[in-house]
Amino acid sequence: MHNIMNAGTYTIERFADERGISRQSALNLLSTMKKKGLATVRGGGREKRLYAIFDRPQEKTNGFYDMVNKYSPEKLRPRFAHHVRGRYTVEHAIIDGIRIGDARTKEATMHLFLRVTDWTRLFALAKKHDLKVEVIELYQKARMLMRTKRMPRRYT
């Protein structure tokens, strides 16, 4: 693999020119780099593809913002990279959304109540973080604005 001297953003043509290789070789090299986590891609379609090249492998995020953007029609721009080890569920995401606390995040978090499968886990996490009242309030607000699953009576 070619040596990456400086991290930056490239188009495929600029990447090929700087390394003195053909366009196809540059595509093959970038594909290999993407698999190793050394490059990310944005753009495409009508836009030029831009490749961001890094010196060290970049760890993919798998936390709150990925969960919310997957299930909520309101998409959020990540404020921080949230990396999670182990299992991260919708219940964890609801608690994190409440802890982040701004209005837009809470609005997007309400849509996660459609996906709750383990109410016991949700309220155990709420008790651990002392957020039981906030979870119930957010749930009631979500019930008024959209259809959600029913919360068992023992938690209200």
Q: What local confidence, expressed as pLDDT, does residue 3 receive?
A: 46
DSSP letter string over 101-115? --HHHHHHHGGGGGG
Q: What local confidence, expressed as pLDDT, does residue 4 receive?
A: 44
Strands 8-10 and 50-53: antiparallel
Phi, psi dihedral angles at 107 (to 5 degrees)? -60, -45
Q: What local confidence, expressed as pLDDT, does residue 62 receive?
A: 83
Q: What is the 8-class DSSP label of residue 20?
A: T
Q: Any alpha helices (H) in the chain, and if so which ranges?
A: 12-19, 23-35, 64-71, 90-100, 103-109, 119-128, 132-145
* Average pLDDT score, the chain: 91
Measure Cα distances from 154 to 61, 85, 138 in Å.
Answer: 35, 31, 17
Domain that holds residue 44: 8-53
Question: For the chain, what is the domain count?
Answer: 2
State the CATH number of the domain containing residue 45: 1.10.10.10
Check whether residue 76 and residue 110 sit in a common domain: yes
Packing angle between helix 132-145 and helix 119-128, nearest 10 degrees? 130
pLDDT in tens, 108-128: 999 999 999 999 999 999 999
Q: What local confidence, expressed as pLDDT, does residue 7 receive?
A: 67
Check whether residue 20 and residue 68 sit in a common domain: no
pLDDT in tens, 47-91: 999 999 999 988 877 899 999 999 999 999 999 888 888 999 999
Phi, psi dihedral angles at 53 (to 5 degrees)? -105, 135
